[in-house]
Amino acid sequence: MTKPIPNDDADIGERIQKVLARGGVGSRREIERWITEGRIKINGATVTLGTRLKSGDYLQINDRVVHWEKFSVQPTRVLLYHKPTGEVVSRRDPEGRPVVFTQLPKLTASKWIAVGRLDINTSGLLLVTNNGELANRLMHPSTQVEREYAVRVLGEIPSEVIDRLKQGVDLEDGHAKFDDIRFYAGEGANKWYYVTVKEGRNRLVRRLWESQNVVVSRLIRVRYGPVVLPERLKTHSFYELDEKELTLLHEFAGMPYPDKPRKPENRNR
């Protein structure tokens, strides 16, 4: 059994949980739990809470090598990507379907992390960032971030159904509700509504409507927290937040924004 690493050099390097959270390996809380469970080693020795990573350290999680140097401090970037239907929020797809990450600019020292997911049949706003800690803050259930969707449904929706969906219904994975439902437009068979939820459960918006036997024919995410899908941003295109917008997003997530400004990279086809 290996001995825990002493923490004599506490003033050198960065705490493990901070480095790994920044790289999107997990949240700080998750990584702290891994440390207490003895799942993380540096240079072959089990680490303790407070241990710091220093240049040249050999890091393992569950005995698998982690090249943590690529998670070094770098400017935070956040892209607003307009995902079309038919694309998968994944790095690769076994069925060969198109994936969103091939549409984004390449990173040399880190990777893009999707803030939440959109299923293949849902389009609209997808936030991606190279800052794992920011992504975790924006996705964590305790943050209660509002997600707003434009939904096209088939047929007239009785007021009692709207009331029921706002009060909450029981789904297979627990109680759920819309925090807000607003009628937008529609005079024929199709009607458009704006709905808001504060959870990221899989296909939650569709499943809520389907629980009332309502058919959803189109679903577009138009807002995630304070970030709104730009009207002129075409599908397959992205917009990069500038320094002022990044500062506001960090404030919303309860994080400082100490980065140096960089020129945003945007693409609108």
Tokens in use for 76?
Answer: 């935070």
Q: What is the pLDDT along the chain (269 residues), one digit of tens a residue?
A: 444 444 444 447 888 988 888 777 888 888 999 999 999 999 999 999 989 998 889 999 999 999 888 776 678 899 999 999 999 998 888 898 999 999 999 887 678 999 988 999 999 999 999 888 899 889 988 888 999 999 999 988 999 999 999 999 999 999 999 999 999 987 778 899 999 999 888 899 999 999 999 999 999 999 999 999 999 999 999 999 999 999 999 999 998 876 655 677 788 87
Tokens in use for 87?
Answer: 């694309």
Marked catalytic residue, from 119, 163, 173, 180: 119
Distance, C-alpha 212 to centroid of its chain: 28
Q: Where in the chain is the domain with CATH 3.30.2350.10?
A: 78-142+227-253, 146-224
* CATH no. for 146-224: 3.30.2350.10
63 given a catalytic annotation: no
Give the separation between CA 193 and CA 179, rounded to whole angstroms: 13
Global confidence as pTM: 0.77
Domain 78-142+227-253 has CATH 3.40.250.10: no
Say if CB 157 and CB 208 are below 8 A apart.
no
What Cα–Cα distance (Å) separates residue 112 from each residue in 71, 98, 102, 168?
Answer: 12, 16, 11, 35
* CATH no. for 14-71: 3.10.290.10
**167-200 core/surface letters (b: 16 or more CB in 10 A; e: else):** eeeebeeeebbbeebeeeeeeeeebebbbebeeb
| Residue of 192, 189, 216, 213 lying closest to 205 (CA atoms) | 216
